[in-house]
Amino acid sequence: MTGPELAEAGRLLAAARRPVVFTGAGMSAESGVPTFRDAQTGLWQRYDPQELATPAAFRADPALVWGWYEARRRGVRRALPNPGHRAVAAIAARLPDTVVITQNVDDLHERGGVPAPVRLHGSLFAPRCSACARPAPLPSDLPPPSDAPVPHGGPEAHDEAEPHDEAEPPGGPEPHAPEPHDGPLTPPACAGCGAPVRPGVVWFGEALPSAALDAAVEAASGCDLLLTVGTSALVHPAAEIPLVAARLGAPVVQVNPVPTPLDAICAVNLRGPAGEVLPALVRAAWPDADAG
């Protein structure tokens, strides 16, 4: 990718010292992780995700909701971080005060080399008690991720791999083998109070975690560049984060294949997938960089 827009975005990134990288579902979709609104597969086709992702649904049928999230967790474990995730890690390695804020609930940023993103919508990998909120261990039969974590020092430590939603972990099932427990599954009981353990994500009707939201607003308020990647800018209050940065004078650079409501506030709009645009942006900012 070349052109004056990329050159200007590269200039802004090279000049930044406190950038924020704000990522949405499009980032993970490039690794084969279905977005929340994508069609369900298999036996889950007859369910509406928006009807499963609510506290009321979990109270009514904990096994159904837990089983669906277990299927989602297994799908994420088969996915690989894409070059966009590695480019974000390269930015964080070059600029230690970078803050990565994500709306995604997978672990691809961590496996891509960013150890502690701010998670606005929680994580599939942080279950907790539905009553007392005590953290709970992951199920013991969850397969290991299909790639090793990338050291935070940069993406060059990890071999390039084409993201594919059927990649399998070593020793795992064949790509088209039936998934274990693909259906309703009784959630484990909390070790503290015995109540059902729930997925550690934000459901419809729930507030964002206050600590994460406060950290995101603080980072956006103090940044000198906000890079927004793969987000529709339609899910609030998370969609307000780029607006906070823009109102306080930080330039906003958007990476997205299609226009979004953020177009008007952006200093630069880079059209294209994150896996192509972000490595090119890193090279434009720092020609000596290995952006994966």
* Active site positions, annotated: 121
Q: CA-CA distance, 131 to 36, in Å (whole number)?
A: 25
Using CA atoms, how far apart are residues 18 and 227, in angstroms rounded to an integer? 11
First to last CA, the chain: 15
DSSP the chain: --SHHHHHHHHHHHH-SSEEEEE-HHHHHTTTPPPTTSPP-GGGGGS-HHHHSSHHHHHH-HHHHHHHHHHHHHHHHH----HHHHHHHHHHHHSTT-EEEE---SSHHHHHT-S--EETTEEEEEEEETTT--B-PPPTTPPPPSSPPPPTT-GGGS------TT---TT---TTSPPTT-S--PPPBPTTT-PBEEEEEPPTTPPPPHHHHHHHHHHHHH-SEEEEES--S-STTTTHHHHHHHHTT--EEEEESS--TTGGG-SEEEES-HHHHHHHHHHHH-TT----
Q: CA 28 to CA 17: how far, in whole Å?
A: 26
Sheet strand arrangement including 19-23: 118-119, 99-102, 19-23, 225-229, 252-256, 268-271
